[in-house]
Amino acid sequence: MVHNNYLRFILLTLLVSVSSHVNAGKTQERFSIMGLGDSITEGSQEFSSYLYSLWEELFSKGYDFDFIGPRKSECRIGELHHCGFSGHTVEFLNEHIDSIYHLYPADIVLLHAGHNHFSAEKPVSGMIKAYKSIIAKIHHIKPGATVFLAMVTPSGKLPKYSYIPELNRAIKKLVSSYHSSKVVLVDMATGHDYRTMTIADRVHPNKLGRERMAHIWATAIEKRFKAQHPAFRPESICYKTVGADSLSLYVFKAKGRKPHPTVVYYFAGGWKYGSPLQFFRECAWNAAHGITSISVDYRIGYLYGTQAEDAVEDGIDAIDYIRGNAKKLGVDPSRIIAAGASAGAVIAGKIPDDRLKARILYYPVVDSLQSEVSQIHRPVLFMIGTRDSFTPIDKTKAFLLRLCENNTYCDYHIFEGLPHPLFRYREPLDAVYYRIRSLTDDFLGKMFSSQ
């Protein structure tokens, strides 16, 4: 930790405080998932895949996992990998699964593929043969893999898909014939209403439909695989409406009735992508140690077509809502710290000083804070890597020097050899993550111990 004249001396002599990059770290047990199917798995410009909703639900339930496959689809957290082939049949999947699964031997395969035939073809018997062949090829390569075989979502596109009820009966019979925990029936058909759960084509899922599919997949996985961590259980509170949509705070309350010190987190994603789930781990950790923590959802380009200024507006509105509802939330409005990563750190940096106790800036894009730096007087925790592609080290030094000139308390840590971001929350956590958490804990202790 460096402050004032000492900080000035270090920066002017070009000596940088360095936190060592520790490569060692215990790898957490994880499993891999392959979504295998057609356009309902892949998604398109007109509709989204169920994959993001499934990722969100499994992450929230405490699972460590990765989606794998040769293809990828865009979603609010960037891209997710899968094995979905729009316009193709289950027979097509059978022809290619050998080569694909050798490269991507997932622990869990989610197989939903039953469209793209015509009823006049009488395709059911051939489709069942293809399912059996796919399962056999997967288990030949990886005997321990679990294949979740879904009964197909019904369609209102008739008579083309009038064979689906017959197909689903045959799928159910097929799965029961295995007498194996490694082949699991998943009922996507019962309760699926194409009138309310699909887009205008009466085939592909709308928001309600894909969220329902994701929940059914997640429930099936949960029955057979234990989560590696406790589930996250924040309270979701709407702080702002934008047209027909609402923006939420995800509140992790510390125990006790007294007003608590609070950290408010803003996710990374370059204004285009990102999810408030990024900081659920930190929020849960803080809450368990007496600090209420809140992860903020704000508008991003992928969902709303918005720009940076819209996200900043949301960030400030979130703080104002929290302060205005401090008693209900159990928040001490005099002890609020704004924290964020990358673009989220820029939002934290742009919150007016009079709303905050301090700031935590994880690898911020400092070019976006040039007009605010002279107005930042509250204490700052600052972390960045020497190989940050958005903020070269000379710009980092210049930014820290300007904070010093403001007489701003600055606890800064520069990680030798690390890029942007310092860690990836969707990947296995290593020693760097826990080093960052330790440094953050120390800073929070200093900021909140005096009151």
Residue 5 has pLDDT above 90, yes or no: no
Q: Is residue 191 part of a domain?
A: yes
Same domain, 241 and 136: no
Q: Is residue 22 part of a domain?
A: no
User: Domain residues for 112?
Assistant: 31-223
Same domain, 316 and 182: no
Same domain, 152 and 294: no
Same domain, 175 and 40: yes
Last residue of a domain, one of 171, 192, 223: 223
pLDDT at residue number 11: 46
Mean pLDDT across the chain: 93
pLDDT at residue number 450: 56
Q: Is residue 21 part of a domain?
A: no
pLDDT at residue number 257: 85
Same domain, 145 and 240: no
Residue 28 has pLDDT above 60, yes or no: no
- Express each pLDDT in 40-71 by its tens digit: 999 999 999 999 999 999 999 999 999 999 99
Q: Is residue 264 part of a domain?
A: yes
CATH code for the domain in which residue 127 is found: 3.40.50.1110
Residue 13 has pLDDT above 80, yes or no: no
Residue 389 has pLDDT above 70, yes or no: yes
**Cα angle for residues 167, 213, 269 (degrees, 5° grid):** 140
- Express each pLDDT in 393-443 by its tens digit: 999 999 999 999 999 999 999 999 999 999 999 999 999 999 999 999 999
Residue type, 74: E
Same domain, 395 and 444: yes
Determine the average pLDDT of the residues in 326-347: 97
Determine the average pLDDT of the residues in 103-114: 98
CATH code for the domain in which residue 364 is found: 3.40.50.1820
Last residue of a domain, one of 198, 223, 248: 223
Last residue of a domain, one of 162, 188, 223: 223
Strands 245-252 vs 292-296: parallel, antiparallel or unpaired: antiparallel
pLDDT at residue number 449: 86
Q: Is residue 6 part of a domain?
A: no
Tokens 């339930």 label which residue? Answer: 61
Q: Is residue 313 part of a domain?
A: yes
Same domain, 100 and 147: yes
Residue 14 has pLDDT above 60, yes or no: no
Task: Out of 6-15, 54-63, 348-357, 410-419, pick the least confident.
Answer: 6-15
Same domain, 244 and 299: yes
Same domain, 369 and 259: yes
Q: Is residue 301 part of a domain?
A: yes
Same domain, 156 and 281: no
- Express each pLDDT in 278-334 by its tens digit: 999 999 999 999 999 999 999 999 999 999 999 999 999 999 999 999 999 999 999
Same domain, 120 and 213: yes
| Structural domains in the chain (count) | 2
Residue 259 has pLDDT above 70, yes or no: yes
Determine the average pLDDT of the residues in 157-167: 97
Residue 6 has pLDDT above 50, yes or no: no
Same domain, 219 and 242: no
Q: Is residue 384 part of a domain?
A: yes
Determine the average pLDDT of the residues in 117-135: 98
Residue 214 has pLDDT above 50, yes or no: yes
